[in-house]
Amino acid sequence: MIEIRSLKKSLGGKPVLDGIDLDVLEGESLVIMGPSGTGKSVLLKHIVGLFDPDEGDLLVDGMSVPRADGHTIREIRSRISYVFQNSALFDSLTVEGNILLGLPEDHCGRPDVDCDKLVLKALEHVNLEPDVLRLLPAELSGGMTKRVALARAVVGHQKYILYDEPTTGLDPLNASKINELIAHLKNEIGSTSVIVTHDVDSAFNLADRIAVLSDGKIRALGTPEELRSSSDPGLQRFLDPTSALAGAV
Ligand SMILES: Nc1ncnc2c1ncn2[C@@H]1O[C@H](COP(=O)(O)OP(=O)(O)O)[C@@H](O)[C@H]1O
Ligand SMILES: [Mg+2]
């Protein structure tokens, strides 16, 4: 379980997160939505200790991320995989090299671990053929790049997967394929997911619960049904995919 407690963070003298309280429950898919520049990526980065909060705390399986020493932060990070907003593949590494980065250091040197098998299984999860392993990121289409990023995220069977805008920049067909894969991965691997997305349709398809972040605070939190039946007109405009305000509270 991930517990976020009264978390505050200012950046460049401007409050970005202004008292966030949020739990991510075991096994759930929690979608975080909110306007651009509202702190969604900053919040995800706090979970893996890439940002330190100014105030408040954040616990992963009971371990405080801001107060973790080097050993504890490695333990926390070993439980989490992170699909960055731009996929963040290493240009100079092949697809295989990029996927192997999803495994803990020294993992492949262990006699009881068959890394080739793990990589092939990860490829299978994201519907890619083994012949892509030799390719470099520059040789991949946008949809394939996202798939490789997903393969890297699942290869180590981490307990938590954080997805930052996994479908941004993809055409609708590839975006819906990636959404299907995220749902499939949840069912196959049983991981707990935090998914940041702008896409209202995919949020409603993927989420067990949705948190709407705006002006540094969680404005709404509930199941898709609960949010749909809310009487808050600002929230309804935000959630209506046909509205020009969709995704912009
Ligand atoms: N490393 C950083 N240094 C200074 N400001 C940052 C940094 N990262 C993000 N910000 C600012 O924090 C705010 C939230 O950014 P971000 O979390 O990336 O938004 P989004 O909700 O679109 O993911 C923005 O105003 C952004 O400019
Ligand atoms: Mg972002």
What six digits make up the tokens of 102? 């999803």
Q: CATH homologous superfamily for 1-79+188-249?
A: P-loop containing nucleotide triphosphate hydrolases (3.40.50.300)
Location of structure tokens 């969680």: 218
SS3 120: helix
* Residue list, ligand 1 pocket, CB within 6 Å: 11-12, 16, 34, 36-42
Ligand nearest to the CA of 36: 1
Q: Is the pLDDT of residue 245 over 60?
A: no
Res 248: pLDDT: 57
Res 246: pLDDT: 60
Q: Which has the closest alpha carbon to 123: 148, 156, 102? A: 148
Q: Give tens-digit pLDDT for 62-120.
A: 999 999 999 999 999 999 999 988 878 999 999 999 999 999 877 787 888 889 999 99
Among 8, 14, 42, 51, which is best to mutate for testing ligand 1, by the most ligand atoms less than 8 A from CB? 42
Q: Is the pLDDT of residue 5 over 60?
A: yes
State percent of the chain over pLDDT 90: 67
How far from 84 is each of 21, 26, 150, 168, CA to CA, in Å? Answer: 23, 22, 10, 11
Atom of ligand 1 nearest to the CA of 39: 17
SS3 1: coil
Atom of ligand 1 nearest to the CA of 35: 21
10 Å Cβ neighbour count for 97?
14
Rounded Cα–Cα distance for residues 28 and 24 (Å): 7
Are the CB atoms for 68 and 79 separated by under 8 Å?
no
